[in-house]
Every structure is written in C-alpha cells, then in structure tokens.
Structure 1
Amino acid sequence: MGHCFSRDKSDGADSDEAVEFVGGNVHRVTSKEDWDQKLSEAKRDGKIVIANFSATWCGPCRILAPFYCELSEKHASLMFLLIDVDELTDFSTSWDIKATPTFFFLKDGQQIDKLVGANKPELQKKITGVLDSMGK
C-alpha cells in the first residue's frame, strides 16, 4: 500500500506533469472558507463528505487520483473533496496529516471514518460501508 511521508520535489514530479487530480465530481478545496462552504452544502443536502488530503508530488496519490475521480462519478450521493497538503499547509496540519493520501469520511462535519494510504480495495469498501449506512 502506498504512502508518501516526505516532500522531495527533486524527483521532477512537479505539478507540470499531466496527472488529473480533479475530475468527475471531485471538488478542489483551495481555502478554509471553501472547505466550510462545501461542508455546509453537504450537511444541507444530507451528503457524506470524503476528503482526500493529497499532494501532487506523491506517487501513490497520483496513481489513485483517476480512481477517486471515477468513484465521484459513480457515487453522486457523496461529496468528494480534494485538499492539496502543500497548498493548505496549516489547514492540513490541523487535521494531523502524517502521510498522503489520507481520506476522511465526514457526516455533518464530524469524522466517521478514516483511511491512510492509496489502498483502492479498502477505499471502495469504506465507501460501500458509508453508502450502506445511508441506506443507498
């Protein structure tokens, strides 16, 4: 299972590379205000939020990104968010992110589950569990 623990940008894997982190129904969070707005929307619409704390330089994040986008298209009853840990460093630190990717599952703004690492089967399993709990 893949995790990235440190930031080493000297490997050339910078954001110029054509990896699509946002697509499908994935919303990119670029500020704390943006985060608050998305959480309010999710609460209003009765959606569970999946927040992906990720980084453009992280190999496992890059591999998982297209799958995350696919999941967002398949499960419109959930809200999929993407937070770049480098773009929102202080915010990410407040969530105690130790490795990327880290996924938080939130209902009404409260954490109900968490997954650390680029584990496709486990991510799928947790999403299925969340959908089952919602009766969808």
Structure 2
Amino acid sequence: MLVELEKDNLQEIVAEHKNVIVQYSATWCGNCRIMKPKFKKESAANEDITFVLADAEKFPESRKLAQVDNLPTFARFSSGEFKNQVQTNKYDVLKELVHEASSN
C-alpha cells in the first residue's frame, strides 16, 4: 500500500500498520524526485509493507519521528517503533531497507 501524507499524521499510520517505510522528501530535492518512482515500484512489489511519502518540510512532526536531517531519507518502522533510517539516492540501499522490513 502506498500513502501520500496530506496532514502531519505519520505517527497514526505507524501505529496502525506492522511494517512501514517512509520516504522523506521535498519538492526542491532532485534526488528525492529520482527516488520517488523507485519507491513506488517497491510499494507495488511489497504489499505486506505500508509505504508512505512524506514532505519533510510540510510535516515537521512526522519528520521528527526519524530524526531526518538530510534528503532523501528512508525510514523503517516496525510495530509502531522507529527501527532505522538511510539517507541515500541509491536504489540498492532502498531495496536493502525494504528487505529488512519484509523479513521482520
């Protein structure tokens, strides 16, 4: 499932789903735009994980959940808890994070 945040409610989504991966991005971020279709591809291939697109500038409370200080950042949550994050523009690194979530 792919969700695009429309309000600053990531905490609710994380609490409601077992495995969540978030792409934190911003409209000005070129690497974020490059990674977005790859993120969407992973969401289509992994239906047991909830994928969330979050604008890090619009949603500061959601950003705080993963201590985001660089973009793009991909964060993994499991059973309502923050597990880890990666700051990357490399597809292989994103796939590793998805693999961690799917084997959880």
TM-score, structure 2 normalization: 0.86
Is residue 99–residue 117 contact of structure 1 (8 Å, CA) maintained in 2?
no
Shift in CA distance, 62/129, structure 1 to aligned 2, threshold 3 Å: same
- Structure 1: distance between partners of 2:82 and 2:90: 19
Give the structure with higher Rg (CA).
Answer: 1
Query: Percent identity at matched positions?
Result: 22
CA pair 57-112 structure 1, distance change in 2 beyond 3 A? same
Q: Counterpart in 2 of 1:128?
A: 99
**Higher percent of residues as strand:** 2
CA-based RMSD of the aligned residues comes to 1.8
- CA deviations 1:22-79 (Å, max 9, x no partner) are xxx32012333x323312320xxxx310011111110000001001001000000001
Q: List structure 1 runs of 4+ shifted beyond 4 angstroms.
A: none
Note if contact 2:10-2:62 (Cα within 8 Å) is conserved in structure 1: no
In structure 2, C-alpha distance between the alignment counterparts of 1:35 and 1:59, rounded to whole Å: 23
- Judge conservation of contact 2:72–2:88 (CA < 8 Å) in 1: yes
Aligned residues: 104
- Aligned match of 1:29: 5
With over 3 angstroms needed to count, the CA separation of the structure-2 counterparts of 1:128 and 1:109, relative to structure 1, is: same
Q: Which runs of 5+ in 2 are unaligned?
A: none
Q: Shift in Å at residue 90 of structure 1?
A: 4.7
**TM norm structure 1:** 0.68
